[in-house]
Amino acid sequence: MSASPPPSQPAYVLHSRAYRETSALVDFLTPQGRLRAVLRSARGKTGTLARPFVALDVEFRGKGELKNVGRLESIGTSSWLNGEALFSGLYLNELLIRLLPAEDPHPAVFDHYAATLLALAEGRPLEPLLRAFEWRLLDDLGYGFELSNDLHGEPIAADGMYRLQVDAGLERVYLLQPGLFQGAELLAMSEADWNAPGALSAAKRLMRQALAVHLGGRPLVSRELFRKP
């Protein structure tokens, strides 16, 4: 009796690079986490599918950290991204490679990533999508914090000023200093009210502060794509 084939699972390519003569070393995002695998004959038809933002069904073989791709097929609808939507997708991919531990299951991250790609392809406003993804990623990895209460459990005051203590949460301060957030901005963020004055720009600053410590001081290459010449 022949052995049953290894189970396949949905996946997206986060990054791919040439490996040996005709293979590729590919980082995949799956519901079971970030997996790295060798794709043989990467210059053939299968290799053309192994590109970012294509919904795939992949069969992984092997028990070590470096797996082998046994089968790879496209499924569903792929997200075609252009311009700043493409840059945004590359930014999400780099975030996941840098922050998501290998082989650490995060099915909610996978689902939110797929939904965000679809929203980017539909042309929805970029900034709210990126801020929501950053926030949910941090929260799912255990790095989240409250936006409606400070680190002492007190409700955020709309007229207050706050700073982020990355390991603890938001702390109210009474002396003006760089990098502070207005309480009204934080409350708008907690309600995802992106029409509130200053909410989106404050959210971008807040997420940069929150992400910086987990990125180990190394800048994200994909952020440079957004810089206007």
Is 156 in the same domain as 216?
yes
Q: How many domains does the chain have?
A: 2
Give the H/E segment covering residue 15: strand 8-19
Is 47 in the same domain as 96?
yes
Per-residue pLDDT in tens (0 to 9) along the chain, 229 residues: 444 455 789 999 999 988 887 888 999 999 999 999 999 876 666 667 788 999 999 999 988 888 999 888 998 777 789 999 999 999 999 999 999 999 999 999 999 999 999 999 999 999 999 999 999 999 999 999 999 999 999 999 999 999 999 889 999 999 988 899 999 999 999 999 999 999 999 999 999 999 998 988 777 888 776 665 4
Q: What is the structure's pLDDT at 226? A: 67
Q: What is the structure's pLDDT at 79? A: 75
- 152-159: list long-range contacts, CB under 8 Å, 24+ apart: 156/183, 156/186, 156/187, 156/190, 157/183, 158/182, 158/183, 158/184, 158/187, 159/183, 159/184
Q: What is the structure's pLDDT at 227? A: 64
Q: What is the structure's pLDDT at 93? A: 96
Is 163 in the same domain as 136?
no
Looking at the DSSP bridge assignments, the partners of residue 102 are: 34
How far apart (Å, rounded) are the C-alpha atoms in residues 24 and 154? 52
Is 105 in the same domain as 192?
no
Q: What is the structure's pLDDT at 125? A: 95
Is 118 in the same domain as 190?
no
Is 75 in the same domain as 162?
no
Examine the fold and report which residue of 112, 141, 170 is the final residue of a domain before the chain moves on.
141
DSSP 8-state code for residue 51: S
Is 169 in the same domain as 120?
no
Examine the fold and report which residue of 141, 172, 194 is the final residue of a domain before the chain moves on.
141
- Give every CB contact of residue 5 below 8 A, 6+ residues apart in sequence: 59, 70, 71
Q: Which amino acid appears at position 142 of this protein?
A: G
Is 126 in the same domain as 149?
no
Is 25 in the same domain as 123?
yes
- Give every CB contact of residue 199 below 8 A, 6+ residues apart in sequence: 185, 188, 189, 193
Q: What is the structure's pLDDT at 157? A: 97
Residues 108 and 140: beta-carbon distance below 8 Å: yes
Dihedral angle sign, alpha carbons of residues 31, 32, 36, 40 = negative
The CATH code of the domain that includes 181 is 1.20.1440.120
- What is the extent of the structural domain holding 23? 1-141
Ramachandran sector of residue 75 (left: φ over 0; alpha: ψ -120 to 50; beta: rest): beta
